[in-house]
């Protein structure tokens, strides 16, 4: 059987599809698994041994569709489920299965604070798309494969951090998912432990402002490493502190302890750290902590995020108690 899995973006969402890829490939002996995503995310899929072939989208969806038609798939597994994937499915004309985005439930929660969200992680909703083939969750959690070339040499890690460090992920796709810089500074000032600050090039200035507190203990790695190299640093960390973002899910794939900080989005959307039942059953306690402002009437205000707080006060992040984050960190360490 020849399968096409669709997930165009983004980092975290692609990582959250890896159990479907693995379980299809391992549980169906005849399965040939293809994956289509944006070319900007090729580093997330190129090294996955459970994918037989990856098709990349640049800007021309029609060109990709023509390539996909040549493959003559038996089934399409749509783990993105939007207008573009509808166009792909219609053009291929094959039997398809799409994951439930729960858009109505999310709309009710964000607009009217009516909570009818089922207690189901998005990974399990993804897995439901292949249930009719007899494919079941294997309890192994998420996958992330780092190519040898992306393993960070020790010479590129400060000597002060080689004995162990905390990974602090300060980036996020939207500003309303980010802890404000002054809060991050307070946090880093209070943590008596080597920290590597991770983020993209756009986070470089914020990372520098934080690391200036103690340039030896705080290493600003924002924009210095690729996503695979950043993933390697996450893998080697003692603990990961992160917003609701892709590196949080990568940290879960490596079964690292996580302290996640939530702003305008909420874990109830089903995107909290996912470890898999095998790992969880072997733990004496949950491997992650969630820090958020509860009972805030305007939260969640979006299922994704904004450039700035729609109400101007940003209480979902400004009211985060640094002491609560510190308590979680100290308990984990």
Give the orientation angle of helix 181-190 with respect to helix 322-332, to 10 degrees: 40
Q: Does the fold of domain 158-332 match that of domain 2-133?
A: yes
Tokens describing residue 229 = 């190299």
Position 3 confidence tier, pLDDT thresholds 50, 70, 90: very high
Mean pLDDT of 136-151: 97
Query: Does residue 28 have a pLDDT over 90?
Result: yes
Question: How far is Cα 145 from Cα 147, in angstroms, rounded to an integer?
Answer: 6
CATH 3.40.50.2000 fits 2-133, yes or no: yes
For residue 87, the model assigns a pLDDT of 98
- At residue 284, the pLDDT reads 83
Using one digit for the tens of pLDDT, what is the confidence trace for 301-319?
999 999 999 999 999 999 9
Q: What are the sequence ranges of the domains in the chain? A: 2-133, 158-332
Overall average pLDDT of the 157-184 stretch: 96
Residue 70 neighbours by CB under 8 Å, 6+ apart? none
| Cα 215 to Cα 59, 209, 241, 242, distances in angstroms | 41, 10, 19, 21
User: ∠29-30-36 over CA atoms, to 5°?
Assistant: 110
pLDDT of residue 285: 85
Distance, in Å, from the CA atom of 326 to the CA atom of 330, rounded to the nearest integer, reads 6
Q: Which helix (H) or strand (E) holds 145?
A: none
CATH superfamily of 158-332: Glycogen Phosphorylase B; (3.40.50.2000)
Please give the order of strands across the beta sheet that includes 2-6. Answer: 53-57, 32-38, 2-6, 75-78, 95-98
> How confident is the model over 182-215, as pLDDT tens digits?
999 999 999 999 999 999 999 999 999 999 999 9
Per-residue pLDDT of 229-275, as tens digits, reads 999 999 999 999 999 999 999 999 999 999 999 999 999 999 999 99
CA-angle at 321, arms to 318 and 327, nearest 5°: 150
Residue among 125, 120, 142 nearest 249 (CA): 142
Per cent of the chain over pLDDT 90 is: 98
Query: Does the structure show a pLDDT above 90 at 10?
Result: yes
């Amino acid at each position: 059987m020849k399968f096409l899995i669709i997930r165009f973006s983004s980092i975290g969402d692609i990582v959250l599809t890896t159990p479907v890829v693995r379980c299809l490939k391992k549980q169906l002996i005849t399965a040939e698994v293809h994956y289509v995503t944006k070319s900007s995310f090729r580093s997330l899929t190129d090294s996955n041994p459970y994918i037989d072939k990856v098709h990349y989208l640049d800007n021309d969806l029609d060109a990709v569709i023509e390539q996909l038609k040549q493959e003559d798939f038996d089934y399409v597994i749509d783990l993105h489920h939007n207008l573009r994937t509808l166009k792909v499915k219609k053009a291929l004309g094959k039997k398809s299965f799409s994951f439930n985005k729960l858009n109505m439930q999310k709309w009710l929660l964000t607009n009217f604070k009516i909570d009818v969200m089922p207690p189901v992680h998005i990974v399990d909703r993804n897995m439901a798309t292949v249930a009719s083939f007899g494919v079941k969750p294997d309890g192994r959690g998420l996958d992330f494969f780092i190519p040898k070339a992306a393993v960070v040499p020790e010479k590129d890690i400060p000597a002060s951090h080689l004995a162990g460090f905390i990974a602090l992920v300060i980036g996020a796709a939207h500003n309303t998912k980010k802890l404000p810089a002054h809060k991050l500074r307070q946090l880093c000032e209070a943590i008596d432990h080597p920290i590597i600050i991770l983020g993209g090039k756009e986070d470089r200035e914020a990372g520098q402002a934080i690391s200036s507190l103690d340039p030896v203990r705080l290493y600003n790695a924002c924009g210095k490493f690729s996503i695979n190299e950043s993933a390697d640093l996450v893998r080697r960390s003692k603990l990961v502190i992160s917003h609701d973002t892709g590196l949080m899910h990568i940290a879960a794939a490596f079964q690292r302890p996580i302290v996640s900080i939530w702003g305008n989005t909420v874990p109830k959307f089903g995107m909290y750290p996912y470890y898999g039942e095998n790992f969880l059953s072997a733990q004496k306690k949950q491997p992650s902590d969630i820090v958020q402002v509860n009972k805030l009437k305007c939260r969640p205000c979006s299922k994704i995020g904004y450039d700035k707080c729609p109400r101007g006060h940003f209480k979902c992040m400004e009211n985060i108690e640094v002491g609560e984050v510190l308590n979680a960190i100290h308990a984990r360490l």
